[in-house]
C-alpha cells in the first residue's frame, strides 16, 4: 500500500441560483413508485391503501418552495376526451381520498426534492370497477415557472370485488389438487364440488378441493456461488405477483395454497445439501411464503439429477434437516407437506441426527402415480416417514387420463382406493396431479380422475359411515379450454 501528501481535492461548483434565476426552474409532481405520469393502483382486500407522492425541482431551491397537492375532478374530462368505451374512466369518489398529514409539502432551500406526501384511499362502499384519480400540484412561489403538464399525475385505480369468507365442507379426508401454472389458472380450484343426497334424496352441494398446490418451482444449484437457489417459473411468478386475482378467491374460501418444489436437474436436491445451503434455501422460501401470503410448501423429490459430475453424494440427514428447518421457519400456521418418492422416503423412514422428519410434516402422500400405495403395509413400495402419524398420510396420487384410459383405470383403482379408505388409516389424503382443462378426448377434465375417489368413498348402501350416500363430482366447465391461463 502507498499514500501521498497531495492537497485535498476540491471541485469548483456553481452557487445555488439566486431568486432572480428561479424563473428558469421547473418542477414536477411524481409518484414515489414510478416516474410515469399515468400509473395503475390496485385496491386489494384491505379497507384502505396508502400511496405517496413528492415534488421535484430541476435545480436546487434558492428559497423554500411550497407546493399544495390536491385531487382535481376537472381533469377527468381532459383524460377521457380521446378515449372510447371502457377506456373512459369514472372519477374515483373524492370523499374516499384523504391526506392525513395535510396537502402541503416544502422543498427546502438547497434541495431539489420534497418529503413524501401520503395519499390514503378507502375502498369501503366503492363498487367494483376502474376509476381515475387526478392529482394536481400548485406551487406557491410566483417566481417558479413549471410546465402545466408536469403538475398532474393520474392514478388509474382498479377496485376488485371483495371475495366473501366461506368455509369448506368437512370430509374424513383431504383433497389435494396440483395446478401447473404454465397451462392452467389456479382459479379452477374453486369450481369443483360434489353432490350428495340425503335419505329423502334432497341434493346437497358441497365443496371438494381442500389444498391447491401450484407449480413449477425448483431447487437449483448456482455453480458460481455454490448456493441452493429457489427458482420460481415465470408463470408461477405471475400468479404470485397477481395474488389478489388468482389466490385470494381460493384462500377466502378456506382453501390452502401451497407451492410445489421439485429438483432442478442440476445435481443438487433435498438429499445432498449442506447445512449452510439448507439455511440459505429456507430463508429464500420463507421470504416467498410471507411476501405472497402463501399457506405453505410441498416438497416432491423428483428431477434433482443426483449423481451429476462434481456434485456431492447423498447425505442421509439432509432431507430431514430441510423439512425440520422449513417447519421451524414457517411456523405452525403454515403447512409443510411431502409427496413421497421411493428413494428419498427410504431415507426419511429413519431418524437422522435425532430428527424424525414426520414430526415436522402436516400431510404426506404417495408420489407414485396411478397406484394405491399404503406405506404402512409390509412390502409396500414406500416406507412410513419416521414420526409421521398415519392419519396424516394419503396413499394415492392420480393423473387425469383420456376418456379411454380412464375407463380402463377406474375398475382397477376404485376397489383399491375403497379398501384404503375403509380398512386403513392411509386414505386420509387424495392427491390429483396437474389438473387439466376439458378438451377433446378429455371431455370431463379432472373429473375422470376425481370419479375414482368419488366412486370409492360413496356409501351406496349406507353401511360404512352413514354420511355419504352418493357423490357425483361436477366441474363448472361449460366449454373446452375453460380455465386455461389468461395471461
For position 371, what pLDDT does the model report?
Answer: 94
pTM above 0.85, yes or no: no
The answer to whether residue 52 scores a pLDDT higher than 70 is: yes
Take residue 260 and report the three cell numbers written for it.
Answer: 410445489
Question: Which one has a higher pLDDT value, 39 or 474?
Answer: 39
Share of the chain above pLDDT 90, in %: 67
Best CATH choice for the domain 165-482 from the list 3.90.800.10, 3.30.428.10, 3.20.20.80, 3.40.50.1220:
3.20.20.80
Instruction: Share the mean pLDDT of the chain.
Output: 90
Give the span between the Cα atoms of 487 and 480, in whole angstroms: 18
Strand-pairing partners, residue 40, are 156
Local confidence band at 23 (pLDDT 50, 70, 90 cut-offs):
low
Ordered DSSP codes for 86-123: GGS-EEPPGGGEE-TT-SEEEE-TT-SBPPPEEEEEE-
Question: Which one has a higher pLDDT value, 422 or 431?
Answer: 431
The pLDDT tens digits for 213-241 are 999 999 999 999 999 999 999 999 999 99
User: Is the peptide bond preceding residue 394 cis, with omega within 30 degrees of 0?
Assistant: no
Least confident stretch, 265-269, 292-296, 343-347: 343-347
Location of each CATH 3.20.20.80 domain in the chain: 165-482
| Ordered strands of the 472-475 beta sheet | 203-207, 192-197, 472-475
For position 5, what pLDDT does the model report?
Answer: 62
The answer to whether residue 246 scores a pLDDT higher than 60 is: yes
Local confidence band at 10 (pLDDT 50, 70, 90 cut-offs):
low
The answer to whether residue 186 scores a pLDDT higher than 70 is: yes
For position 8, what pLDDT does the model report?
Answer: 58
Pairing outcome for strands 97-98 and 117-122: antiparallel
Local confidence band at 12 (pLDDT 50, 70, 90 cut-offs):
low
Mean pLDDT of 120-141: 93
Least confident stretch, 69-83, 142-156, 250-264, 363-377: 142-156
Location of each CATH 2.60.40.1740 domain in the chain: 27-161
For position 347, what pLDDT does the model report?
Answer: 95
Asked if residue 417 lies in contact with residue 458, where contact means CB atoms within 8 angstroms, the answer is: no
Give the span between the Cα atoms of 357 and 355, in whole angstroms: 6
- HSE of 106, CA atoms in CB hemisphere, 13 A: 6
Mean pLDDT of 437-443: 87
Local confidence band at 448 (pLDDT 50, 70, 90 cut-offs):
confident
For position 407, what pLDDT does the model report?
Answer: 85
For position 430, what pLDDT does the model report?
Answer: 96
Local confidence band at 168 (pLDDT 50, 70, 90 cut-offs):
confident
Give 304: exposed, middle or buried? Use CB within 10 Å, 0-12, 13-18, 19+: buried
Mean pLDDT of 321-344: 96
The answer to whether residue 21 scores a pLDDT higher than 70 is: no
Best CATH choice for the domain 27-161 from the list 3.40.50.300, 3.40.50.2000, 2.60.40.1740, 1.10.10.10:
2.60.40.1740
Strand-pairing partners, residue 159, are 43, 129
The pLDDT tens digits for 463-483 are 777 666 677 787 776 678 889
The answer to whether residue 176 scores a pLDDT higher than 80 is: yes
Local confidence band at 14 (pLDDT 50, 70, 90 cut-offs):
low
Strand-pairing partners, residue 51, are 119
Pairing outcome for strands 117-122 and 38-43: unpaired
The answer to whether residue 422 scores a pLDDT higher than 60 is: yes
The answer to whether residue 39 scores a pLDDT higher than 80 is: yes
Helix (H) or strand (E) holding 281: helix 275-291
Amino acid at each position: 500500500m502507498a499514500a501521498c501528501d497531495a492537497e485535498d481535492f476540491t471541485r469548483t461548483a456553481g452557487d445555488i441560483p439566486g431568486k432572480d434565476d428561479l424563473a428558469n426552474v421547473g418542477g414536477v409532481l411524481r409518484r414515489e413508485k414510478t416516474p410515469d405520469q399515468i400509473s395503475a393502483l390496485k385496491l386489494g382486500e384491505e379497507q384502505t391503501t396508502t400511496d405517496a407522492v413528492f415534488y421535484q425541482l430541476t435545480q436546487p431551491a434558492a428559497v423554500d418552495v411550497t407546493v399544495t397537492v390536491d385531487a382535481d375532478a376537472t381533469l377527468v374530462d381532459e383524460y377521457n376526451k380521446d378515449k372510447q368505451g371502457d377506456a373512459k374512466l369514472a372519477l374515483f369518489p373524492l370523499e374516499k381520498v384523504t391526506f392525513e398529514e395535510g396537502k402541503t409539502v416544502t422543498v427546502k432551500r438547497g434541495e431539489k426534492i420534497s418529503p413524501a406526501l401520503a395519499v390514503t384511499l378507502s375502498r369501503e362502499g366503492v363498487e367494483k370497477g376502474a376509476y381515475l384519480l387526478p392529482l394536481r400540484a400548485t406551487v406557491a412561489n410566483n417566481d417558479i415557472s413549471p410546465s402545466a403538464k408536469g403538475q398532474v399525475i393520474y392514478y388509474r385505480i382498479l377496485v376488485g370485488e371483495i371475495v366473501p369468507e366461506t368455509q369448506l365442507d368437512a370430509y374424513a379426508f383431504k383433497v389435494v389438487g396440483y395446478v401447473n401454472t404454465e397451462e392452467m389458472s389456479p382459479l379452477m380450484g374453486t369450481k369443483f364440488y360434489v353432490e350428495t343426497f340425503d335419505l329423502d334424496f334432497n341434493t346437497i352441494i358441497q365443496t371438494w378441493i381442500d389444498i391447491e398446490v401450484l407449480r413449477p418451482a425448483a431447487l437449483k444449484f448456482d455453480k458460481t456461488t455454490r448456493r441452493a437457489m429457489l427458482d420460481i417459473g415465470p408463470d408461477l411468478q405471475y400468479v404470485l405477483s397477481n395474488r389478489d386475482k388468482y389466490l385470494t378467491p381460493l384462500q377466502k374460501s378456506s382453501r390452502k395454497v401451497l407451492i410445489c418444489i421439485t429438483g432442478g436437474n442440476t445435481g443438487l436436491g433435498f438429499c445432498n445439501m449442506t447445512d449452510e445451503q439448507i439455511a440459505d434455501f429456507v430463508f429464500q422460501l420463507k421470504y416467498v411464503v410471507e411476501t405472497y401470503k402463501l399457506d405453505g410448501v410441498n416438497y416432491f423429490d423428483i428431477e434433482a439429477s443426483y449423481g451429476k459430475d462434481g456434485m456431492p453424494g447423498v447425505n442421509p440427514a439432509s432431507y430431514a434437516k430441510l423439512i425440520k428447518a422449513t417447519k421451524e421457519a414457517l411456523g405452525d400456521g403454515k403447512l409443510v407437506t411431502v409427496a413421497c418418492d421411493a428413494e428419498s422416503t427410504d431415507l426419511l423412514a429413519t431418524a437422522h441426527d435425532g430428527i424424525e422428519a414426520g414430526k415436522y410434516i402436516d400431510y404426506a402422500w404417495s408420489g407414485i402415480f396411478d397406484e394405491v400405495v399404503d406405506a404402512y403395509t409390509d412390502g409396500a413400495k414406500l416406507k412410513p416417514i419416521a414420526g409421521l402419524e398415519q392419519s396424516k398420510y394419503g396413499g394415492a396420487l392420480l393423473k387425469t387420463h383420456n376418456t379411454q384410459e380412464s375407463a380402463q383405470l377406474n375398475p382397477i383403482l376404485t376397489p383399491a382406493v375403497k379398501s384404503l379408505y375403509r380398512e386403513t388409516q392411509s386414505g386420509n389424503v387424495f392427491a390429483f396431479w396437474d389438473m387439466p382443462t376439458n378438451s377433446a378426448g378429455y371431455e370431463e377434465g379432472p373429473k375422470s380422475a376425481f370419479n375414482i375417489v368419488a366412486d370409492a368413498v360413496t356409501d351406496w348402501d349406507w353401511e360404512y359411515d352413514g354420511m355419504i350416500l352418493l357423490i357425483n363430482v361436477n366441474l363448472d366447465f361449460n366449454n373446452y379450454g375453460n380455465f386455461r391461463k389468461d395471461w
